[in-house]
Structures are given as C-alpha cells and as structure tokens.
Structure 1
Amino acid sequence: MLNKEKINEIAKRYIEHLEGKMNIKLAIAQELTINKPYGNIYFWGAQDSKKHRLAGNGPFLVESEDGRVLRFGTADPTEYYITLYENGNWNPGSNDIWYPN
C-alpha cells in the first residue's frame, strides 16, 4: 500500500511522461483531486491553457495498491467512470494503463 506522498509522486511522473509525448508543459489541478480509499483521481491540463487547448485529457486514477495509473474517459462525467471502477466493471484499454516502473 502506497502512502499519499508516493501516490502524488507517481501522478507527477505520469504527467512528466505525457509531457514528453506531447511536447508541452502540463499541470495537475491539485484542488480538484479526489481522494478515495483505493487511490487518488487527478485532473490535469496544459500549464498555459491560453496557448494550448487539449482534447482527451480525462482524469486518471493512481491506485494506492501498486501505483498503477488508469486513464478515465471524457465521454461521460467522471462519476460514471468512478462508479464503474468501484463496481469492478471498468475495463480499461491497453492504452489506458500506465505502470510507474
């Protein structure tokens, strides 16, 4: 089980990973983070939102069990994806999972 600091560190590393792929500076909206017993759900976007508009930047979950990152979609409200995950019905695609190691 990972502590809060380790979970936040993994979220930061994931954003850095995305920055490398997108070649723009990104930021986590810390004030929007949702803390759950099984991990944290983070919202993110371009650091300079006036210069860069992103599509498909849905929230992601960092699981406290092993640090696995699961990307949620953008087609439905975040609560929809949270409910699917909590009910054991979330089936992320291979592109929607990132391992921190």
Structure 2
Amino acid sequence: MNRNEARELVDAYVSRVSAQAGGELILLDEHTIERGFGWVFFYASKRHVETGDPAFAVGGNAPLIVDRVTGELHVTGTAYPVEHYIAEYEARSRTP
C-alpha cells in the first residue's frame, strides 16, 4: 500500500465519522507521520482549522495508523501523546 492509498482509506473513515458527528472533518495532511510500518494520520473539524476557535475543536479525534503491509486502519487513543501509540504499535507489529 502506498501513501495515497492509505490516505484514501483514512479519508473514507473520516467521512463516515463526519456524518455521525454532524460536522465536517478534514485530514491534516501536513501532520502525517511516516514510519516503517506505515503512516499516522490526523484529522480535525474544518471549522476549527479555518477559525482556530476552540469552540469548534473535536474531542476524541484520535490519530489513525494505517499499516502499509496489511492495509489495516487502527484508531489509536487520546490519553497519551501520539508517540506512545506509535511505540505501542511498533512493538505489537514486531511480535510474531
């Protein structure tokens, strides 16, 4: 899987979440992290990105990991910094 394919997968997920949330969510491409296992994508409400107003911020918008080998999308969490979830995923992906 390449980055464009991974982005399409994440975009479809974010579109579904947008429909449930009742507000438009957008991918933050400039924040995407690439690692050996794949990519970490971020998203936020379009209104928050456009205005910077915290009233439009979305809660629970956990970073999304896409595995380049399996094509699986994994929702991380929001309790820890993103590096925690990346390290956790890397450790799991190395475990046979």
Unmatched segments (≥5 aa) in structure 1: 90-101
Q: Give TM-score scaled by structure 2 length.
A: 0.82
Structure with greater proportional helix content:
2
Q: Which residue is 1:23 aligned to?
A: 22
CA offset digits 1:60-79 (Å, max 9, x no partner): 11111232211111111111
Q: Give TM-score scaled by structure 1 length.
A: 0.79
Aligned pairs for 1:45-84 (under 5 A) are 45-49=44-48, 50=53, 52-84=56-88
Q: How many residues align?
A: 88
The structural deviation recorded for 1:45 is 0.6
Unmatched segments (≥5 aa) in structure 2: none
Percent sequence identity over matched residues? 26
- Please identify the structure whose Cα radius of gyration is greater: 2
CA offset digits 1:28-84 (Å, max 9, x no partner): 111110011221101111000135221111211111123221111111111111111
